[in-house]
Amino acid sequence: MEPRSPLPLAGLLIALLTAVSIWAAGVGLWLSAVILLVWLGTLWLAGSNPPPARERTDDPPISRDRMSGLIENSSAPVLLVEKGRVTVANRSAREALGQHILGQDARVVFRQPAAIKLLDRAKNGSATVRGLVRRRDIWRLNLQLLSETLSVVELVNMTGEADISRAHTDFVANASHELRTPLASIIGYVETLMEDDGDLSSDTRARFLKTILSEANRLQSLVSDLMSLSRVEAEKHDAPGQTIALRQHVVRAAKDAAGPDRQHRLLIEGEQDFSIEGDPRQIEQLVRNLVDNALKYGADSESVVVTLDEAPSGDARLTVRDFGDGIAPEHLPHLTRRFYRTDPGRSRASGGTGLGLAIVKHIAERHRARLDIASVLGDGTSVTVRFPVVKADAEPLS
């Protein structure tokens, strides 16, 4: 066999520069690597003498096999389309679209007008499709032509970004509405008092001022909860850095939430203590929110029971139980959403902001705890938080 001539350095340099430029322009890293690999394979073939026909038929196509190995473990679904059919699909693509896509017409695989139009026009580009895998998901398809009959399709899942954007929009809208309501009430009563020429009685003026104070307190609570939620969300992925004795924080926070006026309704059970990895400030905030909710929505003549014991799994189990009207089953999955209320009128009248359980959920997630809410109409509500317990050799902090 004749010796193979070396790769042309100029061609190699152009291939590298082109791949880097494509990647810098926003094309995915895997797709740029595939293009570079195909180009290098072409240069290799061009610089070699054609092997005998017998050897050529025995060897598999180098470029396709190498590309298949290169893209197999990519987190993004990537497909190689040859003459309109899917000849290579990595693991992510097979999991998202199904094992049957290999060998299938690419237009049948995607079944979306925007995707079919992108494939048919035979030009590099991208398209956004909805409902490709699930009903509400959003995907961006990036098409890169390698030759007249060969192309690479990369799928980028945009659903998470869209959900975050929608959640932010909903949050701003809900927060604006919640802030506007007490502000409008305060402004209305203040304007009435300012325009008064002495016609209002002292009792009416006192009632107006009491309402202004009440709405201002409500506004202050809402802003405070918004700030607390923001802090908790910012710290959600930071594991607590200290070991604490759980019971003293539960007892202190429960009594703070009850205050002197509602102390007689609070019943604390369980003498066993547990050591957990926790943020004392957030643990107490979680307990205060749960106890305050239970006291607000439980029956005035009934106690709120706070229990700290050991769950069958060995976790520290905190349960806050009230004996109020209970919550309908259809509301239970939504209780930890921001500003969600089962009875908006009653919640606002009692001073609730609709953020208490959202804060509890984020604190529980940060502490790797499990939050469960159970309720029976007419028999009250029980909220349970299970905290992983630290090994006995760890030293708890107060």
C-alpha angle 129/132/133, rounded to 5°? 150
Please state, in angstroms and rounded to a whole number, the distance separating the CA atoms of residues 317 and 386: 5
Distances in Å between the Cα of 150 and the Cα atoms of 101, 105, 115, 154, 159 are: 17, 13, 16, 14, 28
What's residue 284's pLDDT? Answer: 94
pLDDT category of residue 289 using cuts at 50, 70 and 90: very high
> What CATH superfamily classification does 9-157 receive?
PAS domain (3.30.450.20)
Q: What is the average pLDDT value for the chain, to the nearest integer?
A: 81
Average pLDDT over residues 264-274: 92
What is the rounded CA–CA span in Å between residue 269 and residue 246? 14
Average pLDDT value for residue range 63-71: 68
Encoded amino acid at 170, one letter = D
For the four alpha carbons of 316, 320, 323 and 329, in that order, the dihedral sign comes to negative
**pLDDT for position 181:** 83
User: Which pLDDT band holds residue 54 (cuts at 50, 70, 90)?
Assistant: very low
As annotated, the residues of the chain forming the CATH 3.30.450.20 domain(s) are 9-157
**Stretch 102-130: mean pLDDT:** 86
DSSP secondary structure code for residue 59 in this structure: S
The predicted-structure confidence for 7-28, as pLDDT tens digits, reads as follows: 566 666 666 666 666 666 666 6
Check pLDDT > 80 for residue 319.
Answer: yes
- Where are the CATH 3.30.565.10 domain residues in the chain? 238-398
Quick one: which H or E segment has residue 39? helix 29-46
Mind spelling out the 3-state secondary structure of 165-214? HHHHHHHHHHHHHHHHHHHHHHHHHHHHHHHCCCCCCHHHHHHHHHHHHH
Out of 32-36, 128-132, 285-289, least confident range: 32-36
Separation between Cα atoms, residue 216 and residue 341, nearest integer Å: 21
Token readout for 202 is 């002292």
pLDDT mean over 308-333: 92
pLDDT of 267 strictly over 90 = yes
Summarised one tens digit per residue, pLDDT across range 324-378 is 889 999 999 988 988 887 776 666 666 667 888 999 999 999 999 999 999 999 8
CATH 1.10.287.130 residue ranges in the chain?
162-235
Confidence of residue 61 (pLDDT cuts 50, 70, 90): very low
Q: Are 139 and 96 in contact (CB under 8 A)?
A: no
Residue 394 has pLDDT above 60, yes or no: no
User: What does the pLDDT average to over 180-196?
Assistant: 88
Q: Which CATH number fits domain 162-235: 1.10.287.130, 3.20.20.150, 1.10.540.10, 3.30.1360.200?
A: 1.10.287.130
What's the CA gap between 396 and 268, in Å, rounded?
A: 22
The CATH classification number of 238-398 equals 3.30.565.10
Cα–Cα distance, 7 to 92 (Å, whole number): 34
User: What tens digit of pLDDT does each residue of 81-112 get?
Assistant: 888 888 888 888 888 888 888 888 888 888 88
Strand (E) or helix (H) holding 387? strand 380-387
% residues pLDDT > 70 (the chain) = 76
